[in-house]
């Protein structure tokens, strides 16, 4: 749980664009924010969102394409706008159409609404997306995003945060933090949050950027997936039958087979995750060597889903990862899954941002920025007066 101290007794209000199933909301509200409005176009995600948060007269959810959202729908007096915009056209798994793509291009409607808010736009705006944004079209898409924020009066900081610092899942993401009143710039040659492949942004004199002084983040986890595995007896029918398990083992490369054979023959129980890949036109399984999950993806097909492999004491069992395990790997272990089908839940979690990554950013950057607690930075007048 983050610092829930509020400004003048009021929790800063948030606009949550591309809300999905609400994991950004969970992270922000754990740190003291109040999400007042949200939008997403998928009914299945809203169904899960409603089951998790319930209904409130102080919160509204706009269901539908963001292109149809009018500025008059947005509440006044918000401090933060958060956007986890679609990454399909920016990720390696997508077509790399970038911000010109039909899905990732919805970012421009987010910018449109901020522009239409005028003087009432939030003091801070955050864009969260895949790290592929930094290289999309040779960096041009990232430049376009920063310029769009600049045109609205925001200076921009760019951070790379892997959810693996908080949960046993490899999930690197890019965060653009736009600030109307940025903190004093703290130049640095590099840092864990601003690696070499981001540094070029700060050297572009045509962009308005800043680098806030932030604490050292937690080190990336090297294990822990096994601790999140859902308890399940060896006789549970979710474990694959002998024929399917043999097919799994038969698809492994000699190197992979040698690795899991050693684990299978070892004492005690170990867990690993596995992805189905296509190599030279043939579907094969690849098992991770460590006790960390691969990046969760939207479950559009078999290759997008992860399997759990249980090894040790001479036994090997395989099954699909469960929705509860997806939730735990996103830092939302107690998420209400009562209204979700299995595929619906996997899609929702695979298309979201990890809760503890949001909370860390909120605790160490967003709240201090809104309160003006960075050295050399004053709170905006409308917040000082609250």
- Domain extents for the chain? 13-220+348-384, 231-321
The pLDDT assigned to 278 comes to 81
Q: Sheet containing 34-40: which strands, arranged edge to edge?
A: 60-63, 34-40, 13-17, 80-83, 124-130, 172-179, 155-162
The answer on pLDDT for 140 being more than 50 is: yes
Sequence-distant (≥ 6) Cβ neighbours of residue 223 within 8 angstroms: 168, 290, 291, 292
**Mean pLDDT of the region 223-241:** 97
Q: Determine the Cα–Cα distance for residues 211 and 377; give it in Å rounded to an integer.
A: 13
> Which secondary-structure segment (H or E) carries 336?
none
Instruction: Classify strands 155-162 and 34-40 as parallel, antiparallel or unpaired.
Output: unpaired
The answer on pLDDT for 385 being more than 80 is: no
> Which secondary-structure segment (H or E) carries 178?
strand 172-179
Q: pTM, whole model, 2 decimals? A: 0.90
Between the CA of residue 108 and those of 99, 100, 146, 208, what are the distances in Å? 8, 10, 12, 19
Q: Determine the Cα–Cα distance for residues 238 and 321; give it in Å rounded to an integer.
A: 10
Q: What is the pLDDT of residues 110-131, one digit of tens each?
A: 999 999 999 999 999 999 999 9
The answer on pLDDT for 89 being more than 60 is: no
Q: What is the pLDDT of residues 234-290, one digit of tens each?
A: 999 999 999 999 999 999 999 999 999 999 999 999 999 999 888 788 889 999 999
Task: Round the average pLDDT of the chain to a whole number and report it.
Answer: 89
**Mean pLDDT of the region 52-80:** 94
Q: Determine the Cα–Cα distance for residues 177 and 354; give it in Å rounded to an integer.
A: 17
The pLDDT assigned to 375 comes to 58
CA dihedral 212, 213, 219, 224 (to 10 degrees): -50
Task: List, as one string, the DSSP characters of 242-276.
Answer: HHHHHHHHHTS-HHHHHHHHHHHHSSS-EEEEEEE
Nearest to 104 by CA among 54, 72, 145: 145
**Mean pLDDT of the region 164-175:** 97
**Mean pLDDT of the region 374-383:** 47
Instruction: Classify strands 124-130 and 155-162 as parallel, antiparallel or unpaired.
Output: unpaired
The domain 13-220+348-384 is classified under which CATH number: 3.30.470.20, 3.40.50.150, 3.30.1330.30, 3.90.1150.10?
A: 3.40.50.150
Between the CA of residue 271 and those of 178, 194, 262, 310, what are the distances in Å? 40, 32, 13, 5
**Mean pLDDT of the region 184-209:** 91
Label residue 4 left, alpha or beta by phi (over 0 means left) and psi (-120 to 50 means alpha): alpha
């Amino acid at each position: 749980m983050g610092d829930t101290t509020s400004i003048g007794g009021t929790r800063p209000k948030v606009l949550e664009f591309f809300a999905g199933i609400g994991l950004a909301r969970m992270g922000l509200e754990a740190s003291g924010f109040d999400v007042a409005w949200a939008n997403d176009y998928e009914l299945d995600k809203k169904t899960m969102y409603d089951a998790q948060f319930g209904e409130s007269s102080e919160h509204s959810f706009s269901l539908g394409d963001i292109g149809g959202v009018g500025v008059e729908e947005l509440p006044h007096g918000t401090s933060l706008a958060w956007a986890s915009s679609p990454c399909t056209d920016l990720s390696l798994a997508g077509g790399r159409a970038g911000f010109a793509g039909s899905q990732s291009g919805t970012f421009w409607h987010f910018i449109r609404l901020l522009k239409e808010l005028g003087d009432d736009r939030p003091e801070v705006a955050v864009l969260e997306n895949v790290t592929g944004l930094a290289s999309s079209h040779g960096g041009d898409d990232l430049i376009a995003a920063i310029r769009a924020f600049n045109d609205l009066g925001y200076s921009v900081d760019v951070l790379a945060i892997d959810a693996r610092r908080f949960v046993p899942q490899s999930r690197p993401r890019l965060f653009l933090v736009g600030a109307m009143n940025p903190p004093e710039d703290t130049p640095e040659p590099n840092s864990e949050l601003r690696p070499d492949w981001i540094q070029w942004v700060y050297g572009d004199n045509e962009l308005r950027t800043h680098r806030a002084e932030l604490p050292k983040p937690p080190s990336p986890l090297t294990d822990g997936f096994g601790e999140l595995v859902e308890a399940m007896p060896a006789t549970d029918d979710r474990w694959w039958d002998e024929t399917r398990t043999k097919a799994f083992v038969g698809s492994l490369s000699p190197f992979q087979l040698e690795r899991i054979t050693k684990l299978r023959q070892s004492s005690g129980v170990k867990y690993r995750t596995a992805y189905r890949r296509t190599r030279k036109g043939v579907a094969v399984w690849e098992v991770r060597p460590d006790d960390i999950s691969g990046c969760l993806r939207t479950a559009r097909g078999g290759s997008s889903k992860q399997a759990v492999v249980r090894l040790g004491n001479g036994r090997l069992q395989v099954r699909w990862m469960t929705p509860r395990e997806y939730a735990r790997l996103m830092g939302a272990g107690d998420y209400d899954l009562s209204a979700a089908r299995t595929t619906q839940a996997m899609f929702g979690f695979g298309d979201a941002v990890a809760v503890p990554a949001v909370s860390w950013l909120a605790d160490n950057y967003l709240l201090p920025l809104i309160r003006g607690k960075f050295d050399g930075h004053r709170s905006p007048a409308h917040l000082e007066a609250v």
